[in-house]
Structure 1
Amino acid sequence: MNKQEQVIMAFRDLINKMAWLNKFKMEDRLKGYKSSEVHCIEYIGRNVDSNVTKLAESLYMTRGAISKMTKKLIEKGLIESYQKPDNKKEIYFRLTEKGKEIYKIHEELHKEFRERDKAVFEQVTEEQFDSMLSFVEKYSRHLDAEIKKQGVDIKSE
């Protein structure tokens, strides 16, 4: 196995371990909510004037899938839609009080996970962080270009 394959396998293994470790607490504290719903709530909680297009771009989902999900989240009382007085065409979303509770639980869980993993990150130097971030950004840009070559623009699908 060459270095490139080792890196990709290591990333995959790392993500799978994180998902496995986090899964049980997430499922226990966020019973009844799908991961995609929680991530949609997270995006809306962090971004003012969230709309279908912005959500689709961020979550790498189609606008159709986001429309279905936001409809369900509205039915569950977690988000509400609104329009701006100067733009009656665009529909935006914000969290309800119930949605804010889910957002808060999710944030607390992530804080707990960061605390669990803090010992590793405390050993990483600024140079190492910069190097890792540079690599991840470069790889991400490459994947964006490859996706575009497929004739798929995830950002506007």
Structure 2
Amino acid sequence: MDKEEIILNKTREVLNKMGWLNKYKMEQMLSDYQSSEVHTIECISKGEFVNVTKIAQSLYMTRSAASKIAKKLLDKKLIERYQRTENKKEVYFRLTEKGREVNEIHENLHKEFLARDKVVFDEITEEQLAGFLAFIQRYSKHLDEEIKREGREIT
């Protein structure tokens, strides 16, 4: 196996383990919501003037998929639409009180998972962190360029 396969396989293995370990608690605490809905709520909570395009770009999905999720969230009264006075054409989303509650549960679960895994992250040296981040940033940039080259940018 070459280094590319080793890195990708080990990364996938770690992410799958993390997902499997977190899944039970996430499903237990957020049983009424799909993962895509919760992550869309998170996206809206962290952004300013979030619309369908911003959701699609942030979550690497099509605008059509983002629009469908937004409709579900609107129907469940987790988000609401609004328009800015200076731009009546564009529709934006913000969380309702119910949406903020779901987001808070999600954030608290992430904090719990980070606390669980803190022992590993406490051991990483600054040099290891710098090398890891440099690699991830370089690989991410390469993937961005490939997405652009294939004409698959989300607009």
After TM superposition, the score normalised by the length of structure 1 is 0.96
Letter in 2 for 1:88: K
Compute the displacement of 1:49 (Å): 1.2
Structure of greater relative contact order (alpha carbons < 8 Å, 6+ residues apart): 1
Partner of 2:50: 50
Partner of 1:14: 14
Compute the displacement of 1:43 (Å): 0.7
Residue 143 of structure 2 corresponds to residue 143 of structure 1: yes
Query: Where does the alignment leave 5 or more consecutive residues of structure 2 unmatched?
Result: none
Look up the SS of the partner of 2:91 in the other structure: strand
Q: CA RMSD in A?
A: 0.8
Q: CA deviation digits over 1:78-110, x for unaligned, max 9?
A: 000100011000101000000000000000000
State the distance in 1 between where 2:2 and 2:70 align.
Answer: 43
State the distance in 2 between where 1:130 and 1:80 align.
Answer: 40
Partner of 2:35: 35
Compute the displacement of 1:37 (Å): 0.4
Letter in 2 for 1:26: M
Compute the displacement of 1:146 (Å): 1.4
Structure-to-structure mapping, 1:74-93, within 5 angstroms: 74-93=74-93
Compute the displacement of 1:149 (Å): 2.1
Residue 73 of structure 2 corresponds to residue 67 of structure 1: no
Query: Where does the alignment leave 5 or more consecutive residues of structure 1 unmatched?
Result: none
Partner of 1:109: 109
